[in-house]
Amino acid sequence: MQGILGSFIFSNFILGNILASPPSSLRLVSLLYRHGDRSPVKIYPKDIHQEYNTWPDGLGWLTNLGKQQQYELGEFLKDRYDGFLNTSYYNHEEIRVESSAENRCLMSAYSNLAGLYPPLAAQLWNPDLKWQPIPVQSKPLETDNKLGLKQPCPRYDQLFAELLNSTAVREEQESYEEFFKMVEKNTGIKRESLKDFWSVADTLTCEKAHNLTWNDWVYAPDVWETILELQTIAFDLLFNTSAMVRLKGGPLLKEIIANMEAASETLNPLPKVYMYSAHDTTVAALLRAMLIFNTPPPEYRALVIVELHEIDSKHVVKILYRNDSTTEPYEFIPKGCSDPCTLQEFIKVTAERVPGNWQEECKVKVKPSNSGSDSLSPASWLALGVAVGLCITLVAVVTVLVVRLRCRRDSNVAYSRI
């Protein structure tokens, strides 16, 4: 599946000069991060760790570890942007925070903000509580095409189904058929496939993060390695083509670009920071929309930074990514951009992945059929039937008239001869 996996992997990244403190050229920052550690979303039937005996807060919820991870990420952002943001005093005009409506993302945003804005001076409202309430905006998942990515998009579903039915994917899946059968037998899942494999891999990943003992079958030689391999393949399928990326990563990229364009037209833009708390799928979709992605799926609190700078009277876009919290962010240059990448260049090279009218683009496209009767729609068939019926009726009427006229003429001739 080399062609499929390699289609959007951009390995030509550079380790940028990490900012020790915000430079005077900085004008705007957009931050997107994945939520912190959580409990599994699903648990396979034969797992020794079920919700009732292992995950007291329920499935899919942010854990205490996840809260701590996000708090530390907030502290990292506080150190990085201290001086650009007034991190010693929360100013609601300087930052706008949005989150997916999933509870783990909302909780991650609140935990992050606790690390970014610990209350000081006049904002210290309770001396025993180093926390202050900061608003986080969200919208219902069923209408969210930007962060939660749950708003229905039939065209994306159509493209995904076509990809799954492609020869390359079918062959890839067949090559793992015996492994899938082994997983089905040991998990109690009726049918495993590349599309659904994430649920098993995710459950085991969550258990590993909490040092839980797996079922014995996972410890067999090469099983865990194969699970990770399949997890990467399955994740890659979600945003495998430019059209799929446009529909999933495009809406957020479109907003980020619009905010940068607006900021480039004023000396002191407000807000200064747009913060988005979301999912691994959101992070991957945005990275691919910006022509940047390294294959490992985004880890908990994976961070995307998009900075707008003004350097020598030119507005420049800098993109940084941190998937491993133990390292500094890497700076990436989008494919097709110069170094540094100007705002206009960035807009140009990503234009193919920014939707115009998302609602219209999400409508299912009907492929034209072969020429001939098969290409007629139901309405066309009806019109054709009516036309044929009228023609038959007209022919019948004309025939009757001709016969009657002939009979009348023959009768007159016979009478004259008597």
Residue closest to 157 by CA, chosen among 262, 237, 100, 272? 237
Integer Cα distance of 196 and 159 in angstroms = 17
Integer Cα distance of 343 and 267 in angstroms = 16
Catalytic residue among 37, 47, 144, 280: 280
Q: Which secondary-structure segment (H or E) carries 318? A: strand 314-322
Integer Cα distance of 249 and 242 in angstroms = 10
**Are the C-beta atoms of residues 210 and 69 closer than 8 Å to each other?**
no
Integer Cα distance of 192 and 199 in angstroms = 10
Integer Cα distance of 200 and 202 in angstroms = 5
- Residue 92 annotated as catalytic: no
Integer Cα distance of 44 and 198 in angstroms = 12
Whether residue 340 is preceded by a cis peptide bond, meaning omega within 30 degrees of 0, is yes
Catalytic residue among 35, 279, 309, 315: 35
Chain-centre distance of CA 23, in angstroms?
32
**Are the C-beta atoms of residues 296 and 284 closer than 8 Å to each other?**
no
Q: Which residues contact 241 (CB under 8 A, 6 or more apart)?
A: 7, 159, 163
Query: Which two tokens mark 136?
Result: 């986080």
Q: Which residues pair with 311 in a beta bridge?
A: 314
SS percent in the chain: helix, strand, coil, step 5:
45, 10, 40
Find tokens 């005996």 and name the residue: 53
Residue closest to 105 by CA, chosen among 147, 51, 68? 147
Using alpha carbons, list the distances in angstroms from residue 94 to 97, 252, 268: 10, 20, 10
- Residue 35 annotated as catalytic: yes
Using alpha carbons, list the distances in angstroms from residue 241 to 3, 4, 8, 230, 352: 11, 9, 8, 19, 11
The amino acid present at 216, given as its one-letter code, is D
> What single string gives the DSSP state of each residue in 72-132?
HHHHHHHHHHBTTB-TTS--TTTEEEEE-SSHHHHHHHHHHHHHH----GGG---TT----
Q: Which residues are catalytic?
A: 35, 280
